[in-house]
Amino acid sequence: MNSFETIKKLRMQVRDWKSQGLRIGFVPTMGNLHDGHLSLVELAKAHADRVVVSIFVNPLQFGPDEDFDSYPRTFESDQAKLLATGVDAVFYPAVDEMYPHGEFQTIVSVPETLTGLLEGASRPGHFDGVTTVVAKLFNMVQADVAVFGQKDFQQYCVIERMVSDLALPVELVKAPIARSEDGLALSSRNQYLTASQRVIAPKLHTVLTDVAAALTSGNRNFNELQQTAQQQLLSDGFDSVDYVQIVHPKSLQPSDSQDSEFAVLGVARLGKTRLLDNILLNKI
Ligand code: PAF
């Protein structure tokens, strides 16, 4: 496995693979890798001949009061995990390599109808940071296929829209959410949980599963389902609930009773940790 810190060296490697007719898979990450990331890598391997993983904690997608400085940087152990998973190359650029003009950076911005709600409502500018860095990474890696997790469902929708609007020549694959045995969606931020918070955390998945079951059995009282779920999360011990929303999985707008596809999205807080989860329902 090769590790590249510069765009130039990464491009030389990719050019060599492409000249051999090999298909390139790409998994962008911010490092601090867990089994969820490795499941994305496995999926990329199934879709490609060579897999590149990027590790870059992207300052552009963190707000001023967010955890950019304290975000865990664990390159040595990440590298060992990627080697064991059979990754072909790691791209590990410094901030200057990605943003040579500092804050004077061209920004890729997907319309607010997708980015201004849900996560975007409480994290202004977050998705511009994500789409800008992902567009740059796509240009650097020149992958045929890129894998993103369903866990960050809105992020997936926003990137899908960017790829479509900019006609980027990359196929997107959405990887199912990797969970611990008790249902908690794997996330780098789970390590911030105390032992007692860790016991409460999987209840987010339980509550979203209850909402999904109600929708599947024909209940279309969206407001009531959302409010009951929020109350349940608070009585389960969450400190606050940012939202439980039932939305259309393409437009991310609130669901209509005629819809047959739903995304049930939930974000709740335990202390300083924000937990995200979702369930997708197709053709019910
Ligand atoms: O999902 C993430 O880890 C990040 O948002 C991504 C896609 C690597 C962009 O920085």
What is the reported pLDDT for 283?
82
d(CA 133, CA 148): 14
Selecting among 37, 101, 126, 205, the annotated active-site residue is: 37
Q: How confident is the model at residue 201 (pLDDT cuts 50, 70, 90)?
A: very high
CA–centroid distance, 29 to ligand 1, in Å, is 5
Q: Which atom, in ligand 1's list, is nearest to the CA of 58?
A: 10
What is the reported pLDDT for 284?
83
Tell me, using a 6 A CB cutoff, whether residue 58 lines ligand 1.
yes
Q: Is the pLDDT of residue 33 over 90?
A: yes
What is the reported pLDDT for 51?
98
What is the reported pLDDT for 104?
87
Which CATH number does 188-281 carry? 3.30.1300.10
CA–centroid distance, 183 to ligand 1, in Å, is 22
Q: Which atom, in ligand 1's list, is nearest to the CA of 152?
A: 1
Q: Which atom, in ligand 1's list, is nearest to the CA of 28?
A: 8
CA–centroid distance, 48 to ligand 1, in Å, is 20
By DSSP bridging, strand 273-281 and strand 262-270 are antiparallel
The closest residue, in CA terms, to atom 2 on ligand 1 is 29
Tell me, using a 6 A CB cutoff, whether residue 98 lines ligand 1.
no
Tell me, using a 6 A CB cutoff, whether residue 131 lines ligand 1.
no
CA–centroid distance, 28 to ligand 1, in Å, is 6
Tell me, using a 6 A CB cutoff, whether residue 130 lines ligand 1.
yes
Tell me, using a 6 A CB cutoff, whether residue 108 lines ligand 1.
no
Annotated active-site residue 205? The verdict is no
The closest residue, in CA terms, to atom 9 on ligand 1 is 130
CA–centroid distance, 84 to ligand 1, in Å, is 22
What is the reported pLDDT for 13?
98
Domain regions of the chain by residue span: 2-175, 188-281
pLDDT in tens, 250-283: 999 999 999 999 999 999 999 999 999 999 999 8
Q: Which atom, in ligand 1's list, is nearest to the CA of 57?
A: 10
What is the reported pLDDT for 198?
98
pLDDT in tens, 48-106: 999 999 999 999 999 998 989 999 999 999 999 999 999 999 999 999 999 999 988 99
Which CATH number does 2-175 carry? 3.40.50.620
Q: Which atom, in ligand 1's list, is nearest to the CA of 29?
A: 8
pLDDT in tens, 109-168: 999 999 999 999 989 999 999 999 999 999 999 999 999 999 999 999 999 999 999 999
CA–centroid distance, 185 to ligand 1, in Å, is 16
The closest residue, in CA terms, to atom 8 on ligand 1 is 29
